[in-house]
Amino acid sequence: MLSTMQTTPLTVSSILRHVVQNHGDRGVLTATGDGVRRVSYRELGERCGKLANALRRLGVADDDRVATFQWNNQEHLEAYAAIPSMGAVLHTLNIRLSPEQIRFIATHAEDRAVIVDSSLIPLMAKVLPSLDTVRFVLVTGEGDITSLAGCGKEVLRYEDVLAGESSEFPWLDGDENAAAAMCYTSGTTGDPKGVVYSHRSMYLHSMAACSGNAFGIAEPDRVLPVVPMFHANAWGLPYAALMAGADLLLPDRFLQAEPLADIIQAQRPTLAGAVPTIWNDLLHHVDRNPDIDLSSLRLVACGGSAVPRALMESFEQRFGVTIVQAWGMTETSPLGAIATPPAAAEGEDRMRYRATQGRPVCGVELRLVDDDDRVLPRDGKAVGELEVRGPWVTGSYYRVEAEDRFHDGWLRTGDVGNISPDGFLTLTDRAKDVIKSGGEWISSVELENLLMGHPDVVEAAVIAVSDPKWQERPLAAVVLRDGTETTADQLRSWLADKVPKWWLPERWAFVDQVPRTSVGKFDKKALRRIHSDGRLAVNEVYE
């Protein structure tokens, strides 16, 4: 029996239409270094119409990929809204990747055009001649474009192109399962793999982000996505803010602690999202400038890597700002779980819940499987690989065989952990980062979090190194706060009453910084390589 309901498609274009019709006075503010520039969503809608007409006139057809190579700013948001809404596919390129990776990704995706911020031309110029599928380049901003001469592509100024166009465009009103956007994973092994989001998945993900159990985004909010828009859609915050009619505050290239603190004070965002290192840097900046006021933030979403408990406590105690840990992947759009404690939890119990990866947002289902693909109980004890399912979770990768990444319609995440009876996910490791010592697992992530809870430790990364007796043992690479001289012995004592004795690392390296991936996570692959190359000075401490 079929329902009598309309089957109106869930599309990015309908989000754009909604915000223009109902929240046209709200808008997007972009940091300029000494202030902000602003357009209302009504004006944004008009500029999106112009962009879509321009792209169509330049030959962008339905399904063509249009790449972006941009900071978080108004023009990037225009690409976010206009490209899917016209029926083409937004492809966000990661500006932190190597030229070779960019070439691989843009060619694999067959990008037809690239929108480039003029401040990024030096990076793009290196790779552009090798992007065989790209026909033209739109340059935003005022910067010099002479270095693009001779790249073999048509190079146009974004504003010049928009100037001549009509602001009216017949936005897509079609199949919600059509491609809307794509993003390549920054996988640390193998070639990057493409995830193709649908209009439906984007729409549902935005609804989930606006729900009370996630970020509860509403029209009075001012949303500050510090997490890059080339990184898993900036966690979906831009589309969710448009859906809610909330103001967007975009930091452009001003991502250091000082300009971020300035924009937070001046523009008073209510909600922000960034990886833990950004919040850590901000915290240290406020240490040196205690008058800075961060109190406008009602919620700070944090993810990408485990959020140190000490960071959450500092923000709560010093600013009254709640940092909430969220878990997700490029493959999950990315919102999967969020670590809001149950309403009934109190005191220390709340912090215990907040230190997990969280409880799934309705729509996302989590389960654990063992090495034989048997589903494990949700008892908070059984440890297995996390699998995930839902309408904004990828079911394949773009034009690549990867059947080993899927299992009965579920995505294998490569993460290892447990799930409590009340649904909270605790990840103990990446499957590939797990330390197997004498046949038992040691959680590198738990060791890192405990170490980063030590007052003198700024960063800590733990990797497995081979050991003649135990097969593998943990090695801790630690960054100490300036001026402190904590020893490995002292850090072992710090850990001693918090973990089993056989978890205590014998190998310690005090380093200036932990290597990071292009999206700011600890790069343990690089750390392992530095260690295997013999370039890490390791102290060995045995009791």
Token pair 């037809």 is found at 112
Among 12, 13, 26, 47, binds a second copy (CB under 8 A): 26
Q: Is 7 in the site for a second copy (CB under 8 A)?
A: yes
Residue of 84, 50, 65, 68 lying closest to 160 (CA atoms): 50
250, amino acid identity: L
Residues with Cβ within 8 Å of 160's Cβ and at least 6 positions away in sequence, in order, are none
Region binding a second copy by CB under 8 A among candidate stretches 75-83, 92-100, 340-348, 517-525: 340-348
Write the interaction track for a second copy spanning residues 99-118; mark x where CB under 8 A is met and - where it is not. Answer: --------------------
Return the residue of 190, 290, 347, 421 that touches a second copy, per CB under 8 A: 421
- Each residue 375-394 as x (binds a second copy by CB under 8 A) or -, in order, gives ---x----------xxxxxx
Cβ-contact 251, 274 below 8 angstroms: no
401 is catalytic: no
Instruction: Return the residue of 44, 134, 244, 311 that touches a second copy, per CB under 8 A.
Output: 244
327 makes contact with a second copy (CB under 8 A): no
Least Å distance, CB 70 to a second copy, is 22
Of the candidate spans 32-40, 157-165, 219-227, 485-493, the one that interacts with a second copy by CB under 8 A turns out to be 219-227
Query: What is the closest distance, in whole angstroms, from the C-beta atom of residue 216 to a second copy in the complex?
Result: 4
**Rounded to the nearest 5°, which phi and psi values hold at 496?**
-55, -40
CB of 493 to a second copy, least distance (A): 38
Please identify which residue in the block is written with the tokens 């999206």: 519
Per CB under 8 A, 220 contacts a second copy:
yes
Q: Is 146 a catalytic residue?
A: no
Q: Is 259 one of the binding residues for a second copy (CB under 8 A)? A: no
Regarding 423 and contact with a second copy (CB under 8 A), the answer is yes
CA–CA distance from 255 to each of 142, 251, 274, 282, 322 (Å)?
A: 20, 6, 10, 10, 21
Question: Residues 10, 128, 323, 457: which binds a second copy (CB under 8 A)?
Answer: 10
Question: Interaction with a second copy in 499-518: which residues (CB under 8 A)?
Answer: none
Strand partners for 389: 365
- Scanning 121-129, 287-295, 318-326, 342-350 for contacts with a second copy by CB under 8 A, the matching segment is 342-350
The answer to whether 135 and 155 are in contact (CB under 8 A) is: no
User: Of the two residues 376 and 511, which places its CB atom closer to a second copy in the complex?
Assistant: 376
18 binds a second copy (CB under 8 A): yes
Cβ at position 71, least distance to a second copy in Å: 26
Residues in the interface with a second copy (CB under 8 A) total 74
480-505 per-residue burial string, b: 16 or more CB within 10 A, e: under 16 = beeeeebebeebbebbeeeeeeebbb
By beta-carbon proximity to a second copy, the closer residue of 145 and 195 is 195
Question: Quick one: how far is CA 258 from the chain centroid?
Answer: 22
408 binds a second copy (CB under 8 A): no
Contact 312, 306 (CB under 8 A): no
In 32-84 the beta strands, taken as DSSP E runs, fall at 36-40, 65-69
SS3 readout for 59-80 = CCCCCCEEEEECCECHHHHHHH
Q: Which of 434, 384, 391 is nearest to 412 (CA)?
A: 384
Beta bridge partners of 114: 67, 137
Distance of CA 305 to the CA centre of its chain: 9
Binding of residue 396 to a second copy (CB under 8 A) = yes
Do residues 406 and 322 make contact, with C-beta atoms less than 8 angstroms apart? no
Taking contact as CB under 8 A, which single stretch among the options 48-56, 143-151, 242-250, 485-493 is the one that binds a second copy? 242-250
Q: Which of 436, 487, 502, 540 is catalytic?
A: 436
We find the least distance from the C-beta atom of residue 436 to a second copy, in angstroms, to be 30
Q: Which of 149, 291, 343, 485 contacts a second copy by CB under 8 A?
A: 343
Instruction: List the x/- string, 160-189, binding to a second copy by CB under 8 A.
Output: -----------------xxxx---------
Spot the catalytic one: 165, 176, 331, 446: 331
501 an active-site residue? no
Q: Please confirm, yes or no, whether 185 is among the known catalytic residues.
A: yes
HSE of 424, CA atoms in CB hemisphere, 13 A: 22
24, 40 Cβ separation under 8 angstroms: yes
Chain center to CA of 228: 7
Give dist(CA 466, CA 151) in Å, integer: 48
- Residues between 184 and 213 that touch a second copy (CB under 8 A): 194-198, 200-201, 204, 207-208, 210-213
Beta bridge partners of 22: none
**Smallest separation (angstroms) from a second copy to the CB of 397:** 6
Q: Tokens for 306?
A: 């485990």
Structure tokens given for 194: 């493409």
Q: Of 82-101, which residues contact a second copy (CB under 8 A)?
A: 89
Please identify every residue annotated as catalytic.
185, 331, 436, 441
